Amino acid sequence: MPTPISPQETRLGWIGTGVMGASMARLLREAGYTVTVYNRTRAKAEPLLAIGAEWADTPRAVAEASDVVFSIVGHPHDVREVLLDETTGVLAGSRAGMIVVDMTSSEPSLAVEAAERFAEKGAVSLDAPVSGGDVGARDGKLSIMVGGDRAAFDALEPLWRVMGAKWVYQGAAGAGQHTKVVNQTLAACTMIGICESLVYAQKAGLDLDTVLESVSSGAAGSWSLSNLGPRIVRGDFAPGFYVEHFIKDLGVALAEAERMGIELPGAALAHRLYREVEKQGGGRKGTQSLVLALAKINGVDWPEND
């Protein structure tokens, strides 16, 4: 375990500077930490380098320069590569006392494997996926769901505080990822209801804004209905969160459920419908574009005003 976390004592590493990662790393840099950064596409790291972050050529090199290494990349296979690759991965550059934090939404079983592999070297690996989207990342208002070593979770509080509005220890390695599965299953099923009921309302000839006025604030209400319902009605499919990322997350949920021998019929339905959206070319649209699959199935035209 490193000495108490502080900008003076703790060297941070950051792997993955997509929309989320770039914002999160920026906040840490602005909080005074040294940050060594790696990203598959270097250009996307340039804004961080411009505010004083150091570049490293591999995840391994990031690890060698850092006490705490964060990663937030695309898919579970990317997590496996950046963390566990025997030549270029974080593991290859790790040492006792180091803490690795994977914030990608990824597989719980991979989080368990990573924790075991790092433990063999005396290091600690936490799984810490987030919700809150690009806006939450930019504003440091994420909800961070953490699994793994409790003492490491506690030690990192100054860093959670920079990135999050809420950080909750969920249990042993993988528990953070399991909690993210819960989060995405909730969001997916809620979105099915929003989209199919708006298609119904359209077909029934209702005024959709007036319908939202009746149903948004009561027992049928949700964050998604209040925030994305009006966008669906307007045909605004700009992404808060990409369909293709949601398909990945729901795929993780279904694979994990199958591994545990259980069914998630709502998440399975959402996964099928989102793949339809992707087939229609909507992979980089926002998750509210689920309505386009349901409209098509039902022979209803839906406006698109991207």
Residues carrying an active site annotation: 180
Q: Does 76 bind its own copies (CB under 8 A)?
A: no
Size of the site for its own copies (CB under 8 A): 74
Shortest Å distance, C-beta 264 to its own copies: 5
Q: Does 223 bind its own copies (CB under 8 A)?
A: yes
What are residue 14's phi and psi, to 5 degrees? -140, 125
Q: How many CB atoms lie within 10 A of CB 201?
A: 17
Q: Does 192 bind its own copies (CB under 8 A)?
A: yes
CA distance 123 to 284: 37
Half-sphere exposure (CA, 13 Å, Cβ side) for 176? Answer: 30
Q: Does 185 bind its own copies (CB under 8 A)?
A: yes
Which of these segments, 11-19, 26-34, 39-47, 130-138, binds its own copies (CB under 8 A)? 130-138
Among the listed residues 204, 281, 301, 305, the single contact to its own copies using CB under 8 A: 204
What x-and-dash track marks residues 247-276 binding its own copies by CB under 8 A?
------x--xx--xxxxxxxx-x---x---
Q: Does 178 bind its own copies (CB under 8 A)?
A: yes
> Who's near 27: CB < 8 A, 6+ residues apart?
140, 162, 163
CA distance 102 to 125: 8
Which of these segments, 47-55, 75-83, 115-123, 163-171, binds its own copies (CB under 8 A)? 163-171
Among the listed residues 8, 43, 120, 205, the single contact to its own copies using CB under 8 A: 205
125, 147 contact by CB (below 8 A)? no
Nearer to its own copies, 104 or 184 (CB): 184
What are residue 100's phi and psi, to 5 degrees? -115, 135
Closest among 305, 282, 306, 284 to 294, alpha carbons compared: 282
Q: Does 3 bind its own copies (CB under 8 A)?
A: no
Q: Does 280 bind its own copies (CB under 8 A)?
A: no
Shortest Å distance, C-beta 215 to its own copies: 5
Among the listed residues 57, 154, 157, 213, the single contact to its own copies using CB under 8 A: 213
CA distance 13 to 48: 12
Nearer to its own copies, 11 or 138 (CB): 138
Q: Does 227 bind its own copies (CB under 8 A)?
A: yes
Among the listed residues 169, 237, 242, 246, the single contact to its own copies using CB under 8 A: 169
99: left (phi over 0), alpha (psi -120 to 50) or beta: beta
> Who's near 195: CB < 8 A, 6+ residues apart?
232, 288, 290, 291, 293, 294
Q: Does 103 bind its own copies (CB under 8 A)?
A: no
Q: Does 106 bind its own copies (CB under 8 A)?
A: no
Residue found under tokens 């299953």: 185
Q: Could you tell me how far CA 248 lies from the centroid of its own chain?
A: 10
